Structure 1
Amino acid sequence: MSVSANRRSFILGAGTLGAATLISLPLHAPLHAQGLGDLLGRGGGGGLGLSSLLGKATDSALDKLAVPGAFYGDEDVRIGLPGLGGGGGGGIFGSILGGASRLGILDGITREINDAAGVAAGEAKPIFRDAIDDLSFGDAPGIIRENDGGTQYLRSSANDRLHSRLEPLVDSALDRAGVYKTFDGLAEKHSFIRRVGLNRESINRSVTDQGLDGIFSYIGSEERAFRKNPLGGLLGN
């Protein structure tokens, strides 16, 4: 075997060992400063630390949700009309909108909203990467123990900032998809649209809320999958 082949074997073996260490770290294992830095992916090697793992999970989740029809096609993350479950308020407003939906007044707009959310997800990678880069991972031992600990920590630490930065992307996507124009046209024909508080701001906020829920659901799934099969995630990039 050549020297270069030996070197490639060593690098691959080291990468696998590093990933396995992250995934199967015993709960009682001491986390020394240098080892913790490696696990977080903050050192010069970068590679398979928690920061890198979370970045890969986020990129993969956003790629999947950016596929046309992905949000609408998955009932677990499908975005509903404001006031109809999901991020809506329910109550009398929900009853009014529910009746309108059954009458076909709002046919098609749910799909448009979900498609717009998918477009926003496809544009959101830099926002999530910035948030990940800003995390301190001060609670790293607890994060490492949880199969989706990185996702939980990202949401608890950066949810408001991610929401505020995602909102303009959602607003632009909804505008380009013609959702606001559709609602304006419906409001001219059906006064209940305005009465239930459906306007550009409330629609954008509801879609962003529900879209972020779906994104984090997918990030958590990707993180769990990568932890379960770290070498597969490594070779897939």
Structure 2
Amino acid sequence: MTHSYDRRTALAGLGATGLVAISPSPAMAQGLNLGSILGRATDSALDRLAQPGAFYNDEDVRIGLPMLGNLGSGGSSGGFLGRALGAASRLGGLPGIDDIIRGINDAAGEAAGLAKPIFRDAINGLSFGDAPGIIREDDGGTQYLRRSSNDRLSAEFNPLVDTALTKAGLHDRIDGLASKNSLLRDAGLNRENINASVTEQGLDGIFSYIGAEERNFRKNPLRGLGNLLRN
């Protein structure tokens, strides 16, 4: 009897805070409200991508080198820039493209590990009542976050990417390659477009992982509350 009372009391308290919807609605089936689900999904996604090698080892989110517009027409990773770097490596004994791509992906992972506050701020600024249809989509919160906050997140994630690339010495390495290879110089490769490309691709990967986490939380909305509900 005591356990039943405590469980009802806990659920009522969670309902008062908005963590559990005590009403016969889709939100009750989810258990947690969408803001809570999205926040937890984002934290989990960023933690996963911050692990060493996470970006590079997952081909679905692996970051390639900038395409630099429509220059070149090959299908290899990195497009024109990838082929130019490959040629530079063969001709001048310079570092290979794979090593640089690994470094870029590691830098993106380091940036992801620092990005929780900017994603949390973006989520806290959302008004989910403005888009009631998102409750019906398995990754509706993720889609809404990207539509509503992508520009802001890009602007705030870009400096984290720049810092990580600089710390890893990747800007200097690519500048060094460009100074020795006319293809890279003519392509106009610079810090700004490298940062922009890595930022865009990094966010693509992050949102892909957030969407997967949101779908998992919706299927098992009380994950993480099990100990409380068993008391």
Task: Tell me, yes or no, whether TM beats 0.5.
Answer: yes
Q: Cα 1:60–1:100, aligned 2, differ >3 Å: closer, same or farther?
A: same
SS of alignment partner, residue 68 of structure 1: coil
Q: Cα 1:6–1:20, aligned 2, differ >3 Å: closer, same or farther?
A: closer
> Could you say which residue in structure 2 is the equivalent of 1:42?
none
From 7, 10, 13, the counterpart of 2:8? 10
SS of alignment partner, residue 160 of structure 2: helix
> Could you say which residue in structure 2 is the equivalent of 1:30?
none
2:197 counterpart of 1:206: yes
Q: Cα 1:173–1:19, aligned 2, differ >3 Å: closer, same or farther?
A: farther
Tell which has more relative contact order, 1 or 2 (C-alpha 8 A, sep 6+). Answer: 2
From 164, 167, 178, the counterpart of 1:176? 167
Could you list the per-position Cα deviations for residues 24-45 of structure 1 after superposition, in whole angstroms to 9, with x for gaps in the alignment? Answer: 71xxxxxxxxxx8x99xxxxxx
* 1:198 Cα deviation from its structure 2 partner: 1.2
Task: Provide the aligned C-alpha RMSD in A.
Answer: 3.1
2:43 counterpart of 1:63: no
Q: Cα 1:21–1:180, aligned 2, differ >3 Å: closer, same or farther?
A: farther
Provide the aligned length of Structure 1 versus Structure 2.
Answer: 213
* 1:6 Cα deviation from its structure 2 partner: 4.3
Correspondence 1:119-198 to 2 at 5 A? 119-198=110-189
* 1:191 Cα deviation from its structure 2 partner: 2.0
SS of alignment partner, residue 89 of structure 1: coil
* 1:136 Cα deviation from its structure 2 partner: 1.3
* 1:92 Cα deviation from its structure 2 partner: 2.4
From 63, 69, 73, the counterpart of 1:89? 69
* 1:236 Cα deviation from its structure 2 partner: 9.0
Q: Partners in 2 of 1:10 and 1:108 — Cα distance?
A: 56
Could you list the per-position Cα deviations for residues 202-234 of structure 1 after superposition, in whole angstroms to 9, with x for gaps in the alignment? Answer: 100000000011100000000001001112243
The AA in structure 2 aligned to 1:159 is N
* 1:12 Cα deviation from its structure 2 partner: 5.8
* 1:18 Cα deviation from its structure 2 partner: 3.3
Q: Note if contact 1:61-1:218 (Cα within 8 Å) is conserved in structure 2.
A: yes
TM-score under structure 1 normalisation? 0.79
> Could you say which residue in structure 2 is the equivalent of 1:44?
none
Q: Cα 1:170–1:21, aligned 2, differ >3 Å: closer, same or farther?
A: farther
Using the aligned pairs only, state the percent identity.
Answer: 62
Q: Cα 1:143–1:19, aligned 2, differ >3 Å: closer, same or farther?
A: same
Structure 2: runs of 5 or more not aligned: 90-95
Q: Partners in 2 of 1:116 and 1:56 — Cα distance?
A: 23
> Could you say which residue in structure 2 is the equivalent of 1:114?
105
TM-score under structure 2 normalisation? 0.81
Q: Cα 1:18–1:110, aligned 2, differ >3 Å: closer, same or farther?
A: same
The AA in structure 1 aligned to 2:20 is G
Structure 1: runs of 5 or more not aligned: 26-35, 40-46
Q: Cα 1:57–1:189, aligned 2, differ >3 Å: closer, same or farther?
A: same
* 1:180 Cα deviation from its structure 2 partner: 0.3
SS of alignment partner, residue 44 of structure 2: helix
